Chain A
Amino acid sequence: MPFTPANLDLARETIAKYPQKKSAVLPLLHLAQDQDGHVTPAAIEEIADLLDLTPALVLGTCSFYTMFKREPIGDLLVSVCTNVSCLVNGGPDLLDHLQRRYAADSDVTVEEVECIAACDLAPVLQVNYEFHGPLTGPDAETVVDEYKAGKRVARTISGTRVGKS
């Protein structure tokens, strides 16, 4: 859906911060993703329009960055690191455990990610860009289930702030 009036104001405010409008592509994609749950084709068009760019350029930028999802995902995005410090501390097992556990759960999307800069917590994962670690498979499951049950409040899907978009 198009930016809500409040988000449109926020988008214009963001654009005004930059000496050149084009710099606002990334922040506006985050804003759209927080609003819609993923980056929709309509959002690409709207952002292009706001920034006087072609949709192709906005899509080209969007598809380059791993945080932007162009297909619907669950409300909770669980990003598990398997890079070397996590590799030797059980990261791949953690990923495997969570992938199996939430395979049939459309609320939770589990993904493998590269180093997320919290290796002192290895094996580490993020739930909507909030860090949790070190965790065993069952511990991680508890954390994710607590988010699902509302016992923990998740960040928005692009990680911008705690709470609903």
Chain B
Amino acid sequence: MAAQETRIITKFLRERPDDSFTIDAALANGAYEGLKKALAMTPEDIITEVQTSGLRGRGGAGFGTGQKWSFLPKDVFPRYLAVNGDEGEPSTFKDHMLVEGDPHQVIEGVIITSYAIQCHTAFIYLRGEFGLGAERLGQAIADAYDKGFIGKNILGSGFDLEIVLHRGAGCYIAGDETGLLSSLEGERAMPRIKPPFPAVQGVYAAPTIVNNVETMSTVPHIINKGGEWYASMGVNRSTGTRIFSVSGNVERPGNYEIELGMTFRELIYDLAGGIKDGKELGFFIPGGASSPWLIAEHLDAPLDMDSVQSELKTMLGSGAVMVFDETVDPLLVAWRIAKFFAHESCGKCTPCREGSGWVEKVLYRMSHGYGRPEDMDLLLGFGNNLALGMSWPPGMTTICQLGPSVMSPTQSLRNFWYDEIKERMARDAEARGEILVRSEVPA
């Protein structure tokens, strides 16, 4: 039987696409029931329940959500919750759907989480480009205030909470958890050195929990149905369901919520309809532009956060699966991703600021017919200064993960097409008959 979706956090928005974002429709669907249940529990019990569920952060790093909450230093107040809805990892579009389609689910998760970690101000940092998303989330927050789900003495529990919707303004690195905190403080979104971790010193140097929008959307369901129920789904330490954003050369690009443990083949072929126009698969990127790539022989591997890292040396990251058919030039994709990172490098750490630009320049000439025979080795040589060891997970020479991510496409070129690319560069150089210096390479 063809693989199916398991819809938990996407069920309602799929069933009622016309009005799922309104308070009336959400209430009719049982929104905020989890909140009522949570307010009758102790904060510690909520944290334990979420730990039991095995829920891991859906933003990319996959850290245990309940565990993260438990890292807050005791008796240090105020503390804050910052929800990460910056969603900038190329080809990820799940949070976009969640805030537009089911904002009350996000808000309910935020209130429950705030109660669990005992914070009284929560920020939702939403990507600036989400015009409609900000409008719907803003309206949903206002409606939730009116109904007494946010504000003073929520539903008579004595718990107070303010939620502030904060729009970003176009910046990938604001999606890094410490970059987000800098941005929230009104500064350039430059990541900060860890430790201190945000749970100890985050926004305004106060303890801060940073959680993704999808993670927040999942919390109400765990409270409603229990951690054991959630943990009964999934595979190994990858419990529950996750949304995968499938795009590129597939018949049915879109968001698919599936039980973890399904294979890439089932996701790409059964759900997303396979490769467009009857072509064959060339390669695919399993977890956003930062992750090293995979090819057809990896299709039967399970979507398991740990085994993808240990066996396949890549990651499920943000859940963005990009699929490319046999006619797509891997060098062109590698160049475009490098161009993205060069554009988004914040400039704080030298290896990334300088390196990302050079990688882009070299990959540009390689992918546009101006490559040199030694270019592949050149990239691998200086790439090691950005991603120590040139494997996954990489050694770090920069504060945040953007630095080593610059080299993921190059690593992938080396893994699958090293000889082929070297030969192609030699052929290109011969056909051209001369080596062009940078200023002579046409843009």
Using CB atoms and an 8 Å cutoff, list the residues of chain A in contact with chain B.
Answer: 17-20, 22-27, 29-30, 51, 53, 57, 60-61, 64-68, 79, 82-85, 87-89, 113-120, 122, 126, 128-131, 155, 158-161
Contacts and interface: CB of A to CB of B under 8 A. Distances in A.
B349 to A, nearest CB: 16
Contact of A17 (B164, B169, B170, B320): B164
A61 B169 CA distance: 10
Interface stretch (B51-59, B183-191, B417-425): B183-191
Contacts of B171: 64-66
A53 B285 CA distance: 43
B186 A115 contact: no
Contacts, number: 156
Interface residues of B, number: 58
A117 B129 contact: yes
A88 B328 contact: yes
A67 B169 contact: yes
Contacts of A29: 169
A84 B129 contact: no
B184 A23 contact: yes
A119 B91 contact: yes
B70 to A, nearest CB: 24
A65 B91 contact: no
Contacts of B92: 115, 117
Contacts of B89: 115
Contacts of B91: 83-85, 115, 119
Contacts of A129: 128-131
A96 to B, nearest CB: 13
Interface in B233-278: 245, 247-249, 253-255
Contact of B131 (A18, A19, A57, A130): A130
27 contacts: A17-B164, A19-B78, A19-B121, A23-B185, A23-B186, A25-B186, A26-B166, A26-B183, A27-B166, A30-B128, A51-B186, A64-B171, A67-B169, A68-B169, A79-B129, A83-B91, A85-B248, A113-B170, A114-B90, A115-B88, A115-B90, A116-B129, A117-B96, A117-B129, A118-B93, A119-B93, A161-B135
Contacts of B332: 87
B11 to A, nearest CB: 18
Nearest to A66: B170
Interface in B278-303: 285, 289
A120 B93 contact: yes
Interface string B337-354: 100100110100000000
A84 B245 contact: no
A95 to B, nearest CB: 13
Interface string B145-176: 00000000000000000101011111110000
A114 B175 CA distance: 14
Contacts of A22: 185-187
Contacts of A57: 187
B304 interface: no
A51 B253 CA distance: 45
Nearest to B332: A87
